[in-house]
Amino acid sequence: MRIRFIGTGAGSSVGTKRVKSSILINDKVLLDLGPGADLKLEDLNLYDKPIALFISHLHVDHFSGIFDYLVQRKIRQLPELEIYSPRGLSEIISSYIRVGNNISAKLYEGNLPKGKVNDLEIYSVNACHTIHAVSYVILDGKRKILYSGDTKEPCEPILEEVKDSDLIIHESTCIENCEEWGHTSLNQILSLFKDKKVVITHIPIDIEEKIINLGNNKVIIAFDGMTLNV
């Protein structure tokens, strides 16, 4: 599986050094599409490639890149994007259409979104966040990876899936004590996933240096444009 990190910033990140939440698997399947991530796809020459998008939850830093992206797909006459999302997105898209935007998508909503795209099988489990949120498991027949989305830890459904995962892509929104806001700290990641291969993302720009200093050599610290093969 090829994993490209498109956006690795947190909700609080500003500027373009780290745009917000987005990962691209095998150049076909997007996991989240935060603001700025749609533009980053163009910078990386990947704009026309995705055919499906799986959204972890409806906080704006995870999905609001879709609006301009859906407009641009119309302009370029690309096929409708398949979007898998927790309930609520159709209402949001409908309101954009109602006020006069030419956008559309093949939308599949559910509490625990899942789907099959080419040779990838994707399903979700409940994450532990401040609103309904899911974590995604991606399988290609050989490897299993887990993308946490936003969650606090310890979160049982995630820890269960982590056991036989080959790679964990996990949010890390603070150094310590951000459970209260539904997030996971770097310290928790270092103690919970000691013997696992972990990539951290959802990194606030203002503590990036500290995260790099503390996490280096223990976890892989994602950056926008980073590619991994597993």
Residue 150 makes contact with Zn ion by CB under 5 A: yes
By the rule CB under 5 A, 61 interacts with Zn ion: yes
Cα(121)–Cα(206) distance, rounded to whole angstroms?
36
Give bridge partners of residue 132 from the DSSP assignment: none
Stretch that binds Zn ion, among 40-48, 53-61, 90-98, 152-160 (CB under 5 A): 53-61
Tell me the closest approach of the beta carbon of residue 83 to Zn ion, in angstroms.
Answer: 18
CB of 217 to Zn ion, least distance (A): 26
Q: How far apart are CA 74 and CA 167, in angstroms?
A: 35
User: Whose Cβ is closer to Zn ion: residue 2's or residue 181's?
Assistant: 181
What are all long-range contacts of 91-98, with beta carbons under 8 Å and residues at least 24 apart? Answer: 92/58, 96/67
What is residue 207's DSSP assignment?
G
Residues 171-230 that bind Zn ion (CB under 5 A): none
- Least spacing, CB of residue 160 vs Zn ion, in Å: 21
Our finding on whether 11 is near Zn ion (CB under 5 A) is: yes
Hey, which residues does 20 pair with through a beta bridge?
A: 9
> Under the criterion CB under 5 A, does residue 36 sit at the interface with Zn ion?
no
d(CA 121, CA 159): 20
As measured in angstroms, the least distance from the Cβ of 176 to Zn ion is: 18
- Torsion sign over Cα 199, 201, 207, 208: positive
In the complex with Zn ion, the residue whose CB is nearer, 57 or 73, is 57
Judged by CB under 5 A, which of 4, 59, 73, 170 binds Zn ion? 59
9 binds Zn ion (CB under 5 A): no
Closer to Zn ion by CB, 139 or 223: give it: 223
Q: Which of 106, 114, 166 is nearest to 135 (CA)?
A: 114
Closest to Zn ion by CB, 7 or 215: 7
The distance of closest approach from Cβ of residue 220 to Zn ion in the complex, given in angstroms and rounded to an integer, is 19
**In sequence order, what DSSP letters do the residues of 184-199 get, joined into one string?**
-BHHHHHHHSTTS-EE
Residues that bind Zn ion (CB under 5 A): 11, 59, 61, 150
